[in-house]
Every structure is written in structure tokens, then in C-alpha cells.
Chains A and B, each alone.
Chain A
């Protein structure tokens, strides 16, 4: 219990940053709309890892970061449900999931 060494916080933060950047890359480069939603989930997970790391390393008595993570998980579940419903509705109107064909709002 009293060993003072542990995994450095930087390791967790680097994993989280890399996951976030992979998510952004997928968000920008995917042509399939379902993959865009998956990339958003990856980014939300990266943010959650960040919150949990700081909650465990800095605030390990009042773990407010864990409460924040619970709320982020809630919002992510709601976002996934609504996003996939929008996707189904788009598919019914356009009969494709190609992001390039959803250009109704393009000026």
C-alpha cells in the first residue's frame, strides 16, 4: 500500500491525446456516416480518460472527475441514439450514407 511509485500521469495523458487525434482524423476523413459517429465516440472516450486520470491523480479524495465522466457517458448515449436516428432518416431520404452527398446546406 505504501509504495510510492506508480504509472506517470503523462502516460495516460499521451494515450488520451493520441486517441483524441485519431478520432479527429476519422471525423474529417470518413465518407461513411456511421464511421463519423464512431469517431465521435472515440473522441468522447479520450475526454473521459483525461477526466478520470486527473480525478485519480489530483483529486483522489473528492472524486469529482468520476462524476463528470458519468455525465459525459450519459450525454454520449443520448447523442448516439439521436445521431443514429438522424442517420436512418437521412438514409431513408437519400438512400446513401456517403457524407459527400449530404450537401443540402452547402452554399
Chain B
């Protein structure tokens, strides 16, 4: 990458601050809708980190798949299940919090300890292949990673069918609200929506 080191450092600092603060907001904020939008910001910043690492194709894929699909899906799910409810208090919540926080801090200290060791023989990312990386990924996908690529397509098909089967309603023979028999034709007609005043 031909950007000066100071620019890289400034970009990296801003992006990682946005990632960490956004992630803390995702897990700590009270409102789930704010969490979902902050999650979109975290995904965008991760895409920025990928750009800093000379990976433009993966950055584009990150924006398309995560921000464009996963985040929108999460927002739709929130819209479908968003109901104000008073959660029942748990009596041993404090000990749970203490135990889980200590587990996380221990894991974090272990990981950082491993991160700070210098056992890797590093080549500088400055002489990376840069723009050619998209071509290289394509070559990988159609030569030595051909089998995982095909399996991934089957996986996506299975996930699509599974999501449809899990999320669809059971077909009813009688209308819930009016009690009249439902006509099962595919053409949509104007009728009372099934879910009025339910929930």
C-alpha cells in the first residue's frame, strides 16, 4: 500500500476505536434497535480495516453481505419480534455477571499475551500483491478451493430452504379472526389481515 504510515496509523486508530466502542454499545445498550444500527457501523469499520490490509474484494464482500444482508435481516427480525415486555428478574444475576466477566477478562488476557509474542516471521504488507488479490482469490476458488466453493453453494441452498421451512406459518384451514374457511389460492385478494389486534 502506498499510503504514508501516519495516514495508515490515523485510519487504523479511528477504525479500531469505532469497532471497539460500537461493539461495546451493541452488547451494553438498552434499546435493541440502537444495537442493530451500531452493529452496522461496526461492520463498516471492519470493512475499512480490510481496506487497510490491501483486501479490496473482501471489503466489498463484507459491505455487501454483512451490512446489506445480515444487518437488514436482523433489523427485520427486531421489527417482527419487538414487543415491550418486562423481563422477569433473575435472583443470581450478580454472581452470573461476575463469573462471565471474569471468564471474558481471563480469555482476553490470555489472547493478548499470545498476541504480543513475536514468533512469526513477518513479511511486510507493503510489498503485497494489492489489486491483483481479486484475481488471486478467483484462481483459488476455481482450482484448489473448488470443492469448498461447491459445498458452500449447497450450504446456501440448504440454509435458504431451512429458513423458509422454519419461518413460514402453518397453513390454516380456517381464518383465525373470522372463522370462515380460507381459500388457498395463490392470487392475493383483498381481505382482512390475519394479524389484526393479535399479539
Q: Is the interface of B mostly helix, strand, loop or mixed?
A: helix
- Bound complex: CA A89 to CA B169 (Å): 9
Q: Within 8 Å CB of A26, what residues of B?
A: 26-27
Number of interface residues of A (CB under 8 A): 79
Taking A76-B70, A77-B65, A87-B81 as known contacts, 10 extra A-B pairs with beta carbons closer than 8 A to each other, sorted by chain A number, are A5-B5, A7-B8, A17-B112, A24-B103, A25-B104, A26-B27, A39-B27, A52-B49, A77-B156, A100-B87
* Contact in complex: A34, B77 (CB < 8 Å): yes
CB distance from A28 to the nearest CB of B (A): 4
* Listed A/B pairs (29) with beta-carbon separation below 8 Å: A7-B9, A15-B49, A19-B23, A21-B108, A22-B23, A29-B27, A30-B27, A33-B81, A34-B77, A35-B32, A37-B77, A39-B27, A42-B39, A45-B46, A57-B120, A60-B128, A63-B55, A66-B57, A67-B140, A70-B137, A71-B152, A73-B58, A77-B69, A78-B158, A80-B69, A80-B73, A84-B163, A84-B167, A88-B166
Which residue of chain B has its CB nearest to the CB of A69? Answer: B58
* Contact in complex: A12, B49 (CB < 8 Å): yes
- Bound complex: CA A42 to CA B22 (Å): 10
* Contact in complex: B129, A63 (CB < 8 Å): yes
Taking residues whose C-beta sits less than 8 angstroms from the other chain, chain B's interface range is 35 or more
Interface residues of A in 28-63 (CB under 8 A from B): 28-35, 37-39, 41-42, 45, 48-49, 52-53, 55-58, 60-63
Interface residues of B in 34-77 (CB under 8 A from A): 35-36, 39, 42-43, 46, 49-50, 52-55, 57-58, 61-62, 65-66, 69-70, 73-74, 76-77
Report which B residues bind A (CB closer than 8 A).
2, 4-5, 8-9, 12, 16, 19-20, 23-24, 26-27, 32, 35-36, 39, 42-43, 46, 49-50, 52-55, 57-58, 61-62, 65-66, 69-70, 73-74, 76-78, 80-81, 83, 85, 87-88, 90, 96-97, 100-101, 103-105, 107-108, 111-112, 115-116, 120-129, 133, 136-137, 140-141, 145, 148, 152, 155-156, 158-160, 162-164, 166-167, 169
